[in-house]
Structure 1
Amino acid sequence: MIFNISVTCYYHKSAASDENKQIADLLIELTTQNKNWGFGLCFLTLRNVIGLPYNHKRVYRIYCELELNLRIKPKRRIKRVKPVPLAVPVEPNQSWSMDFMHDALTDGRAFRLFNVIDDYNREALTVEIDFSLPAQRVIRSLNQLIECRGRPDQLRCDNGPEYISNALKDWALEQGITISYIEPGNPQQNAYVERYNRTMRYDWLNQELFTYLDQVREQAEDWLYHYNNERPNMGNGGFTPIQKLNQAA
C-alpha cells in the first residue's frame, strides 16, 4: 500500500524548524548581551520590542532546551510589610524622580552618578557623571532637561545635602516646581528611581571595569539608549519607556 503525503507537511515542519532556530538564536543573543535577564525580559523583548508573534509556551520550551533557565540563581528578598504605593502619573512630566549613585574607577577613585527619570513611563532622562556633583551641577542638569523635555510639576528626591540646599529650593521656586522630599529612612517612597538604580547597577555598572571617567560617560549614553528603547519595563506593562511615551502622544 502506498501512502501519499502532502508536501505541505514537509513545508510546515521546515518552517517550524526555521522559526525555532530564529527563536533560539535571538534568546542566545539576548542573554549574552544582558547577563542578568531572565525569561520574562527575553520574551517581552521578542514580543514587544522585536515584534515576533511566537507564544509564551513555545519560547519558554526553547529557552529551557538551551538551559538558559539555569543561568540565574533566584535571589531571596525581604518582603516589606504593607509598602506604601506611589501615585502613578497619568501623563509625562507630572513627576520626575532623582537620586545619586556611587561607583569607583579601577584606581580606587570614587565617582558619582546623578539619575533623573520620568515616573510616568520610567524613562531615564539623564545620568550626570563626575567626581563631584554639587547643587549647582544638579541645577544645570535639570535646566538642560527642561530645555529639551519641558518642565515637570514635581521633583521627588531624598534629603541629601544637594537637594535640601537653598540653591535648589530657590531654583525650584523660580521654576514653579514642587520638590517632594521623602521621609528619612524610607527609600521605598522613591521606589521608581530606586528600582531604576538597581537595574543600572546589575545590568551595567556591575558588568564593567572603568579606568577613566570619560569611559563611564561614553557607556552611559549607550546604557540610556538601551534602557529606554530596547529593555521592556514591567511598570509599563512590558513595553519600553519610549514605546509608552509614544502611546501617550
Structure 2
Amino acid sequence: MTASYMRSIYRLYREEGLTVRKRRARRRAVGTRAPILVEARANARWSLDFVHDQFACGRRFRVLNIVDDVTRECLAAIPDTSISGRRVARELTDLISRRGKPGMIVSDHGTEFTSNAILAWSKDHRVEWHYIAPGKPMQNGYVESFNGRMRDELLNESLFFGLDHARSAIAEWRQDFNTARPHSSLRYQTPAAFAGTLTATGSDASLDKGFASPPVAQPAPNGVTETVETLIAAG
C-alpha cells in the first residue's frame, strides 16, 4: 500500500468517526502531600500494628503493638491467637482509661482496623483515626521500627511453649524497652524517662528546639490522609 492510499483511508476513518480512541491513563487516588503536624507531647499520636510469630508446636499467634510516636513508649504489646476489631477497641478503651486519649491514631488498612467495631469506636470516642496508603508500611514508620526490634531481639531469639509463656516474655521485654533502653532520638533517654520529662516541663517543651531532638516533633509521614470518616462515607 502506498503512503497516499493509507492517508486516504485514515481520512475516511476520521470523517466517519471510526478512529480508535486513545486510552486515558487511569486516575489514582494519591491523597494530599501536606504532612500532619504533631505536637511534641505524650499521646499526640499513637501507631498500631500487628507482628506475627508461632509457638513451638507450630500454632501461630500475633501481637498487637501500640506505640506513642513522640515518646517512643510501647504502650501495649498484646499477644493472642486471635485479635478481632472488637478486641482492639476494648484494648484501646482500657489503655485510654489508664493513660488518657490520643490526639490521633495511625494504622494500616488491616481488617481489624477497618472493622465496623473500630469505625464505631473512633466515632464514639471522638478519636481521629488515619490510615496509611496501601503498600506503604514506612508511612507508619515508628511502629514498624518497633516491630523490627521486637522481632530481632525477642521473637526470633525465643521459643514460646504457649500463650502464657509468650505473654510473660513479651511483657518483660516491653518493660525493659521502655525503662532501660536509651534512644539516640530521645537524646539518649529511655522512652519512660523522656515521657516523664515532657510531663514535667509541659507542652512548652515542644517549643524549645534544644530540648528535644528533631525526630520527636517531625510531622506524620506523607500520605497519611484517609480517615475513619472517609471509610464510613464510602459505606
What is the TM-score with the length of structure 2 in the denominator?
0.68
Question: Identity rate of aligned residues, in percent?
Answer: 38
Query: Does residue 1:111 correspond to 2:42, yes or no?
Result: no
Where does residue 183 of structure 1 map in the other structure?
133
Where does residue 123 of structure 1 map in the other structure?
73
**Which of residues 67, 70, 85 is equivalent to 1:135?**
85
Query: Does residue 1:195 correspond to 2:163, yes or no?
Result: no
Where does residue 166 of structure 1 map in the other structure?
116
> Does the Cα contact within 8 Å between 1:89 and 1:119 map onto a contact in 2?
no
1:2-151 residue pairs with structure 2 within 5 A? Answer: 88-151=38-101
Q: SS of the residue aligned with 1:103?
A: strand
Pair member with larger Rg: 2
CA distance in 1, matches of 2:119, 2:196: 32
Q: SS of the residue aligned with 1:185?
A: coil
Gaps of 5+ in 2: 1-33, 200-235
CA deviation string 1:15-40 (max 9, x = no partner): xxxxxxxxxxxxxxxxxxxxxxxxxx
CA distance in 2, matches of 1:195, 1:109: 25
Where does residue 195 of structure 2 map in the other structure?
245
Change (3 A) 1:177 1:86: closer
Gaps of 5+ in 1: 1-83
- Greater relative contact order (CA < 8 Å, ≥ 6 in sequence): 2
Change (3 A) 1:225 1:85: farther
Where does residue 166 of structure 2 map in the other structure?
216
Q: Which runs of 4+ in 1 moved over 4 A?
A: 84-88
CA distance in 1, matches of 2:37, 2:71: 13
CA distance in 1, matches of 2:92, 2:108: 16
> Does the Cα contact within 8 Å between 2:56 and 2:161 map onto a contact in 1?
yes
Q: Shift of the alpha carbon at 1:234? A: 2.5
Q: Shift of the alpha carbon at 1:102? A: 0.3
CA distance in 1, matches of 2:174, 2:112: 23
Q: How many residue pairs end up in the alignment? A: 166
